[in-house]
Structures are given as C-alpha cells and as structure tokens.
Homo-oligomer: A and B are copies of this chain.
C-alpha cells in the first residue's frame, strides 16, 4: 500500500475502477450497450428512469472510458469502449452463475 505521487494507492485506484461498475443503473446501461449502440433517450426509456439520471451515469462511464460516443445530428450515440468491458461483464456473469444467492444475501455490501 505505497501511495503514488497523487496520494492514491494502486488499491485505491483499482477499487475506484470497480466502483464504476458498482451501480445498478450503470450496469443496466452497459448491458444495453452490450447488445447495440444507443442514444441517451432510448436508454432512459429502456431502463425506465429520468434522462438526467442516465446522463449523469453516462458522464461517469464516458470519463472512465468504459463507453465512447459519437454525435448524429441531435443525438449522442453511446457504445462500449472496448472488448475488455465486454469481458469483465461476462466474467461477472460467470461469478454470479455460481454465487448469486450468496451475493444477494450479503448484508455487508
């Protein structure tokens, strides 16, 4: 646990990376983008929550380079940034296939 010049340890950083995945709305967004690219209002509709809420989470996902964007007229089209994002979601599926019940009942997180 040796802090870097910025005061972050390697562990802080890795935890923060996972924190990016640790929200139901952000996961819902990533799962949608696993299927196909999509614009903001479409995601808001699909996830069933407000546009500002979606946009806030997208800002986080984009900043951390989990997703990327392109503009198309009025709209901003989001897609997964690269294959590692896909892989980490797959691995989470694997883990859940084995541990869903335990994770669900864990009272500490």
Interface residues of A (CB under 8 A from B): 1, 6, 8-9, 11-28, 31, 47-48, 56, 59-60, 63-65, 82, 84-85, 87-89, 91-96, 98-100, 102-106, 108-109
Shortest distance from the beta carbon of A9 to any chain B beta carbon, whole Å: 7
Copies of this chain assembled into the complex:
2
B99 near A88 with CB under 8 A, answer no
Shortest distance from the beta carbon of A104 to any chain B beta carbon, whole Å: 6
A106 near B16 with CB under 8 A, answer yes
Q: Which chain B residues lie closer than 8 Å to A59 at the CB level?
A: 108
Chain B residue nearest in CB terms to A98 = B65
Using A24-B9, A31-B11 as known contacts, say yes or no to A17 and B95 having CB atoms under 8 A apart: yes
